[in-house]
Chain A
Amino acid sequence: MNRNVPDPWRKGAAWLWAAAFVLIGASLFAIAFRAPVEAVMGPVQKIVYIHVPSAMVTLLAFGIAFAAGIAYLATKQWVWDAVGTAACEVGLVFATVVMITGPLWARSAWNTWWTWEPRLTTFFILWILYAAYQVIRASIRSGSRRTISAIMAVIFFVNLPIVWKSVEWWRGSLHPRSVTMTGEMRQVLLLSMMAWIVFFAAVLERRLRVEWAREASARQSASGDADARALDPGVRGASRA
């Protein structure tokens, strides 16, 4: 059994990684040399070009995990579990980037590393929940791991609209309701967003390969036959992973 993904997938992934490197490089160059230095905050303001795209990618990743969770519950196909768990894991990494860059910004803008303001608090809650997802998934040794993971991805998604709308629902938010940028700042932010989305797609693809290999390995162990049937994403999973 081939533990590697099919050739078209690998070729597509190579292009994806190439695009991610070019875009990330261009984005970093633009942040350093093209984006104007903000008058009040100075160079620290440039954190926004990392912070906002990371937050956006986090929401995208958890949205994908939610959709994959529903798809898994409806079809029980292992591939949806793989997509869901990969998206949750990668999303948690980007959420951590948000949690690190946020206080760096806050120290300069609000003169404090942390304040219990609505968006910060709700995002921290979101981070805890998806970290708990990893702990719980790892602690399940039975065949129900996939179903429980899918259910968690669906339930935890409820918090995303709360994070999104928190600045409107609660008074005293320091985060703006919307960000309006013009000129070069806007161009650099859009480029950063595009770069982070492509980079996220590339990392997600690499994480999916791990799940693919894990499933192939489990099937090989289950069948005891090195030439077992090819891995089909539409088939119910063999592994309990």
Chain B
Amino acid sequence: MTILAVTRKDLMLYVRDARFLATLGLFSAALVLILSVAFGPIFHDPAGEAAATIWAALFFAGVLGLSRSQDLESESGGSDALRLTGADPFALYLGKTLANFLLLFAVFLLLLPLTAVFFDVGSLAALPVLLCVVGLALVGYSAWGTLFAALARGLQARELLLSVLLFPSLVPLWIGATKLTHALWDGGTIEPVRDWIKVMAVMDVLGLALAGWLYESIQEAGE
């Protein structure tokens, strides 16, 4: 229940902050547009270029979203109020992670048709597997991202620091997501690169396990 309550609270904060949501959507759409222009107009490997574009856009949009989620909490004194409830820190973390996952998934749903149109890739038959791949990647991104965003809370230039921390740490996740998406859009199957699913699953579990171990200490450090 705590997890869902925190998720609901975070999602409500996002919904109320319409300007942020609009900026996030426009920023990520602009990234896809810019990269498609940079790669085009004649694409040499549309599936590969489209996969790289959508994951780059998701990464940068995610950094903005993760950073904003911590800002909203700090501005309204929400993090102090949450700690005063006496709820399990890991449940609070999972709630925030779920909210970030849903936000990133919404961004993905916005970017998918744009990428498909600009690069002329994708098929409905590959969509269910693609959604599973995206789910796996975004669980890891949300898990590590929420952890790092909490760590960077209160630091100067935290968006920059988040990028510096998140991108190198999650390289196996990015490579896996890009390779699997590329394979799906290129040949309609992930068979040639299916080992990357294991790597991504390990990254997901590792992020959640580290958070389970360290999130309470991060919260204490933020007091």
Chain A residues engaging chain B, CB cutoff 8 angstroms: 73, 121-122, 125-126, 128-129, 132, 135-136, 139-140, 142, 144, 147-148, 150-152, 154-156, 158-159, 162, 169
Contacts and interface: CB of A to CB of B under 8 A. Distances in A.
A44 to B, nearest CB: 30
B151 A129 contact: no
Interface string B130-154: 0000000000000000010001101
Contacts, number: 60
B221 to A, nearest CB: 4
A147 B172 contact: no
B168 A129 contact: yes
Contact of A152 (B151, B156, B171): B151
Contact residues of B: prevailing secondary structure: helix
A155 B214 CA distance: 9
B164 A128 contact: yes
A128 B210 CA distance: 20
Given A142-B154, A144-B222, A152-B151, A135 B217 contact: no
Nearest to B157: A139
Given A139-B156, A158-B206, A162-B172, A147 B220 contact: yes
A123 to B, nearest CB: 11
8 contacts: A121-B171, A132-B164, A139-B155, A139-B156, A144-B222, A148-B151, A151-B218, A162-B172
B148 to A, nearest CB: 8
Identify the interface centre among A140, A147, A154: most chain B CB within 10 Å of its CB. Answer: A147
B168 A125 contact: yes
A144 B154 CA distance: 11
A62 to B, nearest CB: 14
Contact of A128 (B157, B168, B218): B168
Contacts of B206: 158
